[in-house]
Amino acid sequence: MNIVVLDAATLAGVDLSPLHAFGTVTTYEYTQPSEVDSRIQQANIIISNKVQLNATHFAIAPALKLICVAATGTNNIDLVAAKDAGIAVTNVAGYSTPSVVQHTFTLLGNLMSNIHRYAADTKQGAWQNSKMFCRLDYSINDIAGKNFVIVGYGNLGQATAKVAEAFGAKVIIAERPNSKATRSGRVTFEEAMQIADIVSIHCPLTPQTENLFNAQTLALLPKHAILINTARGGIVNEQALADALAANQIAAAGVDVLSIEPATTDNPLITYQGDNLMLTPHTAWASHESITRLIQGIADNITSFLDGGQHNRVV
CATH number of 2-93+288-306: 3.40.50.720
Task: Please write the tens of the pLDDT for every residue from 248-272.
Answer: 999 999 999 999 999 999 999 999 9
Residue 238: burial class (beta carbons within 10 Å; 0-12, 13-18, 19+):
buried
Q: Determine the pLDDT at residue 150.
A: 98
Give me the residue spans of the domains in the chain.
2-93+288-306, 97-279
**pLDDT tens for residues 269-306?**
999 999 999 999 999 999 999 999 999 999 999 999 99
Residue 163's pLDDT is 98
Predicted confidence band of residue 183 (pLDDT cuts 50, 70, 90): very high
pLDDT digits (tens, 9 = 90+) for 39-56: 999 999 999 999 999 999
Q: How does DSSP assign 29-60, residue by residue?
A: S---GGGHHHHHTT-SEEEESS--B-HHHHHT
pLDDT in tens, 79-127: 999 999 999 999 999 999 999 999 999 999 999 999 999 999 999 999 9
pTM: 0.93
Report, as residue numbers or ranges, the catalytic residues: 232, 261, 282
- If one looks up domain 97-279 in CATH, what number appears? 3.40.50.720
Q: Would the CATH topology of 2-93+288-306 be identical to that of 97-279?
A: yes
pLDDT attached to residue 219: 98
**How high does pLDDT run on average in the chain?**
97
- Calculate the CA dihedral of residues 71, 77, 80, 85 and round it to 10 degrees: -110
